[in-house]
Amino acid sequence: MFVLIFLVAAVRRFGRVAPIALTGLVFVVFGVKNTRDFFQPESRNRAQEHVLADALNGIGAAEPLGCVAYDKTAESFFHRWNYEYLAPSRYVVFVPGQAPPCGDLVISDAAFGAANRGARALATETRTPQVLWVLPGPRQDRLAAAGAFPAG
């Protein structure tokens, strides 16, 4: 009720500019509130989402990564570009069942392991269902010998 009285008084005093200014003020207040309540905490959460990039960098320190296959059906717009930025390599998007992965490192979802016998999960991202898979071959053998795979 107070807002309505204030709005009527402002219109009488300042004319048609008052409602426009008041509406702008409301947008500014809500913008600041959303920045504080949503964007800043969400940015802190997103800053923690680099588990797969860290795992790729760990592999890349010992040997070249080569091509990293990125599953289009499990794609996350944020994570795809985040990995390319944090773990520079060649990423090739593929669709399981339509084309084979370009290399022995695959970023996909948890179902990829069941569909690809012998694939082993190296790391799982924190807030998105993406897993870094290593397909059977020499790299998987080296990583297993080094104890890089999680137990289980």
Domain ranges of the chain: 2-46, 51-145
Q: Going by DSSP bridges, is the β-strand pair 90-94/67-71 parallel, antiparallel, or unpaired?
A: parallel
pTM value > 0.75: no
Other beta carbons within 10 Å of 64 = 7
pLDDT band at 35 (very low <50, low <70, confident <90, very high): low
Q: What is the pLDDT of residues 6-18, one digit of tens each?
A: 767 777 777 777 6
Position 130 scores a pLDDT of 93
Cα–Cα–Cα angle for 97, 99, 100, nearest 5°?
95
Smallest Cα–Cα separation from 84: which of 126, 56, 112? 56
pLDDT tens-place string over residues 65-104: 889 999 999 988 888 888 888 888 899 999 998 999 999 9
As to burial, measured by CB atoms within 10 angstroms (0-12 exposed, 13-18 middle, 19+ buried), residue 106 is buried
The 10 Å Cβ neighbour count of residue 28 is 10
Torsion of CA 66, 63, 82, 72, to 10 degrees: 40
HSE of 136, CA atoms in CB hemisphere, 13 A: 4
